[in-house]
Amino acid sequence: MEIDKELIKQIKITPILDSLKLEDIDDDTYFSQYKGEYISNSRLGKLVKEGVAAFFKNEDSPYNPSFETGSLIHQQVLQPEEFEVIETVFKPTAKAGLMAEALYNPKGTIPTDNEIKAQSYIIGYYKDKLTANRIKEFREKAEPYWRDRYIYEQNNPFKKGDKKRIYTDQRNFELLTNCLRTLNENTEIQSLLNPTGIVDVPIKGNEKTILLDVQIEVPGYEPKVYKLKAKLDNFTIDTEENIITVNDLKTTSRPAKDFNPEFFSYQREIAFYSYLLKQIVKKYYNMENPTIKGNFLVVSTIPEYNTLVYPMTPKLFKSGMSEVSYLLKCVAYFNQVKGYEF
The full DSSP string for 187-226 is HHHHHHHS---SSSPPEEEEEEEEEEEEEEE-TTS--EEE
Cα–Cα distance measured from residue 247 to residue 22, given in angstroms and rounded to the nearest whole number: 17
| Dihedral (CA of 332, 333, 334, 335) sign | positive
Adjacent-strand bridge partners of 16? 213
pLDDT in tens, 4-42: 999 999 999 999 999 999 999 999 999 999 999 999 999
Cα–Cα distance measured from residue 278 to residue 339, given in angstroms and rounded to the nearest whole number: 33
Q: What is the pLDDT of residue 1?
A: 65
pLDDT in tens, 135-189: 999 999 999 999 999 999 999 999 999 999 999 999 999 999 999 999 999 999 9
pLDDT tops 70 at residue 107: yes
pLDDT tops 90 at residue 48: yes
Q: How many CB atoms lie within 10 A of CB 184?
A: 12
| Mean pLDDT for all residues in the chain | 96
Query: Are the C-beta atoms of residues 244 and 237 closer than 8 Å to each other?
Result: yes
The CATH architecture one would assign to domain 5-61+187-337 is Alpha-Beta Complex (3.90)
pTM of the predicted model as reported, rounded to 2 decimal places: 0.94
**For the chain, domain boundaries:** 5-61+187-337, 66-181
